[in-house]
Chains A and B, each alone.
Chain A
Amino acid sequence: MPGPVAWLRERLPVSGARLQELTNEPVPNHLRRWWFCLGGTPAYLFVVMIVTGILLALYYESSPARAYESVRHITEEVAFGWYLRSLHKWAATLMIASVILHQMRVFFTGAYRKPRELNWFVGMSLLLCTLMTGFTGYSLVYEQLSFWGATVGANIAETVPVVGLHLKRLLLAGDAYNTQTLPRFFVIHAAVLPATIIGLLALHVAILRLQGISELEFEDEPEGRPKTYDFFPDHFYTELIIGLVLMVLLSALATVLPAELGPKADPLVTPEVIKPEWFFYVTFRWLKLFPGVAAVLSMGFILFVMFVWPLIDAAVRRRRPDSEFSVWVGIAAVILIVGLTVWEGVVAH
């Protein structure tokens, strides 16, 4: 009678050597530097979100009449409910932060350049999906911010020329917030977007593996050192350390600063101050700076430029190969993003 390993091998004809070859791809030396390992961080956090999200979904009820009460029930009564909800919230916050940091690193190191433009597009799509997940996520709590955030979001969508009204209806399942809105948000948040993110992540990693990681060389690299090192166990340990640091950090944040519950949504009472989550501060401030359609169109244009930046950068570099244009644009963009975010954060309205 064959042993369990032989039994399995018979049914999964993958040799150990092939598996080792697949998993043990040489890793470029620059990944020894911690700053360059941020790409895996959102993936870790995404897994945390999936696990905690499934557990929260066991108790969450997506009707306006029950949503807030079910979140209160999770936070106050379900065993470890407060912890799961806080982990979910903090993982979301850190995931968005790490996605932005990862993108900044890719941008400033020029890792989006030929032949990696496609992966930049996929990355941009992942960023948008992550932000959408954040938006639909805090809408599910059905506190004041949830309701009015969704209402304001839908009104902004409506200002988009031609398709605005359809976008709004698509988002709200009607012309205004109604009983079907929350179930729709829940399906988008818990099924559509995670599935899309998983698909895009797979594509992101597949492209990365096909093309290999863009290699960077540093002046302080020791002489005669090999240009790569083993994935296993060396880089695997690095990733494990990052994962553990994240888990400890998340656990600490969840216990010290647990997720709160604001006042329940009241369609009849518009809050005096309404602000979205921090990652939308920049958009919110931008929309306040310019009148309706101009703000939305300019926002769309900026997003489009971000998307096709590898092509713009290539065009610029064809004319002036030594141009530091993209670096300066990047610095300006970071200053603008940080500036608008801080501005929105410090002012009352």
Chain B
Amino acid sequence: MELRTKRSVIGILGILFLISLIFVQWMEVVRKQEESGRREAPVAVPATSQACVDCHRNAQPGIVAHWEGSTHARKGIGCADCHKAEEGDADGFAHYGAHIATIVTPRDCGKCHQKEAEQFASSHHSKAGNILASLDNFLAETVEGSRVPFDPHGATPGMSVVKVHGMASAESGCQQCHGSKVALLGADGNRIGMDELKPDEHGRPTDLNAVARISRSEDGKPLFHAGTWPNTGIGRINLDGSRGSCSACHSRHDFSPRRARQPENCAKCHLGPDHPQKEIYDESKHGVAYRDLKERMNLDAEAWVLGRDYTAAPTCATCHMSANTRDPVTHDPGERISWTNRPPISVKMDTDAEHRIVTEADPEKRRAQIADTSEQKRTRMKNVCGHCHAPEYVNGFYKQYDALVVLYNEKFARPGQRLMAVLLEQGLRTKTEFDEEVEWTWFYLWHHEGRRARHGASMMAPDYTHWHGMFEVAERFYMELIPQAREIAAHAIAHGREAQGKAVYAAIDEILARPEHKWFKEGAEGQTEAIRKAMQERYGQGSSGGAKEP
């Protein structure tokens, strides 16, 4: 090759190399723009959803943008794939040539995510809607609100209020976590929900009269009962008979696994005075580590397996649901929980084949009913713990946790429950809850403070266990529950119901005569000094052993 030719070749190759570097720079810029959200990642819209995307990009650009950022979009799952309705579906309607439904239920998601839908269906989460007939619901619908619409006291300037909708607290509060019973609006103004539609095993309504009564807009779209939709409560009872809402955790329309893995996602519901799991987690070492090491959590990983994809810190999902090197992912958080701390008295999570807690006390019958023991559940949780803690450490923690739950159960919950039962048996309180002070007292004790103590111990948050928990339980018990019960008894005796009043006194005396309550009845003058002495012996001279009396 001639020298001149070589020079030309070098020139051309040099330019080519330069172009390749410019190309690399362009790729990098595009990548960074996509990452920071300044540029949309390329998405191939499926043909069946092209019209939806074109129209809704103008009407609801957020929905389309969220979907474009989803794994669904990258894998070619479009609007029509999820929203497609079958002929005969109660909420199906014709929409620009397609037959669709507004609500996507777990039955719909389960067409592709079958295993996840099945696990979810057997979980406590999916049954969260059962609260619709519970004490909490009575609180929201009756105590806080009113089951019957009532007249306003006066005018609301700027708004016409003919009747007050008494269910508002239940609908905007309870049901947004627990789930509503989704209903369509009947022509007569009544609800047409699952009970009226009577869906078959495929979710199609069998009561066609009910279907015929559904109110529709001018373009044929069925109208929802406003109190029941919108709703993403995790135990939502759907028109097709399925229970739950996948979007409770996997927010639509990006269905981000990353978000579902973060504790903030669970905190839509798991916080507040009665079950502050998120705050408890925040206080724990786990939460502290998560906040510090979030960027090392590999939250975008495909499978997100503890011990393989990350080890920096656990989130709610890590312990209760996500995969680890020993167990697969589950959509039933109950599979790893060994106590239920929801009821007034904590119960071991021995469950039957239907995932219901076994309440049978007879050991033999109980054994026969149990399909999955609390110990098996605990072993699964220990498998998670074992990625970062030695077995002795984990077993030690569980001893401490069990001890706290049993202490709460035995010292305060059982006596408190008994006292409430005696008051009822003796006719000294009504069957109606929350109409007497003692009922509020008891509710605060177990539903708020008692749960805080137990949840605090379950997730290693000392302040929630003690100051927000057992301390307040004790105060509520000794300073309110016992005095209020005594007051009721005294009032009964003063008003000629001596036997009933004495029965309450007897119950109180029996409780307070027990060694764990003796200090309250007989005093404990020597105890402070004894504790101080023991502390001095243990830690040496000058140790205060905590706050001293003035």
Interface residues, chain A, CB within 8 Å of chain B? 32, 65, 69, 72, 79-80, 82-83, 233-234, 237-238, 240-241, 244-245, 247-248, 251-252, 254-255, 263-264, 266, 268
B230 interface contact, C-beta 8 A: no
Tell me, rounded to whole Å, the shortest Cβ–Cβ distance linking A264 to chain B: 5
Query: Given A80-B24, A264-B308, list of 13 further CB < 8 A pairs?
Result: A69-B296, A69-B310, A72-B298, A82-B31, A237-B7, A244-B14, A251-B23, A252-B20, A254-B24, A255-B20, A263-B308, A266-B308, A268-B325
Taking a contact as CB atoms under 8 Å apart, the answer to whether B24 and A245 are in contact is: no
Complex contacts, A251 vs chain B, CB 8 Å? 17, 20-21, 23-24
Complex contacts, A241 vs chain B, CB 8 Å? 6, 9-10, 13
Number of chain B residues whose Cβ lies closer than 8 Å to a Cβ of chain A: 25
Taking a contact as CB atoms under 8 Å apart, the answer to whether A233 and B24 are in contact is: no
Q: What are 16 pairs between A and B in contact, CB < 8 Å?
A: A65-B311, A69-B298, A72-B298, A79-B32, A83-B28, A234-B3, A237-B10, A241-B6, A244-B14, A245-B13, A248-B16, A251-B24, A255-B24, A255-B27, A263-B308, A268-B325
Complex contacts, A268 vs chain B, CB 8 Å? 325
**Known contacts A79-B32, A255-B24, A268-B325; A244 and B17 CB within 8 A of each other:** yes
- The docked-state distance in angstroms from the alpha carbon of A233 to that of B32 is 42
Provide the main secondary structure of the chain A interface: helix
Kindly report which residue of chain A lies nearest to residue B31, judged by CB atoms: A82
Tell me, rounded to whole Å, the shortest Cβ–Cβ distance linking A269 to chain B: 8
Kindly report which residue of chain A lies nearest to residue B23, judged by CB atoms: A255
Tell me, rounded to whole Å, the shortest Cβ–Cβ distance linking B540 to chain A: 40
B309 interface contact, C-beta 8 A: yes
Complex contacts, A65 vs chain B, CB 8 Å? 311
Taking a contact as CB atoms under 8 Å apart, the answer to whether B13 and A244 are in contact is: yes
Complex contacts, A237 vs chain B, CB 8 Å? 3, 6-7, 10
Kindly report which residue of chain A lies nearest to residue B11, judged by CB atoms: A244
**Known contacts A251-B20, A264-B309; A233 and B3 CB within 8 A of each other:** yes
Interface residues, chain B, CB within 8 Å of chain A? 1, 3, 6-7, 9-10, 13-14, 16-17, 20-21, 23-24, 27-28, 31-32, 296, 298, 308-311, 325
Tell me, rounded to whole Å, the shortest Cβ–Cβ distance linking B25 to chain A: 8
Complex contacts, A245 vs chain B, CB 8 Å? 13
* A-B CB proximity, top 7 nearest: A244-B13, A251-B20, A237-B6, A264-B308, A248-B16, A247-B17, A248-B17
Kindly report which residue of chain B lies nearest to residue A238, judged by CB atoms: B6
Taking a contact as CB atoms under 8 Å apart, the answer to whether B20 and A244 are in contact is: no
Complex contacts, A255 vs chain B, CB 8 Å? 20, 23-24, 27
Tell me, rounded to whole Å, the shortest Cβ–Cβ distance linking A40 to chain B: 15
- The docked-state distance in angstroms from the alpha carbon of A138 to that of B308 is 18
Complex contacts, A234 vs chain B, CB 8 Å? 3, 6
Taking a contact as CB atoms under 8 Å apart, the answer to whether A248 and B10 are in contact is: no
**Known contacts A69-B296, A245-B13, A268-B325; A80 and B3 CB within 8 A of each other:** no
Complex contacts, B311 vs chain A, CB 8 Å? 65
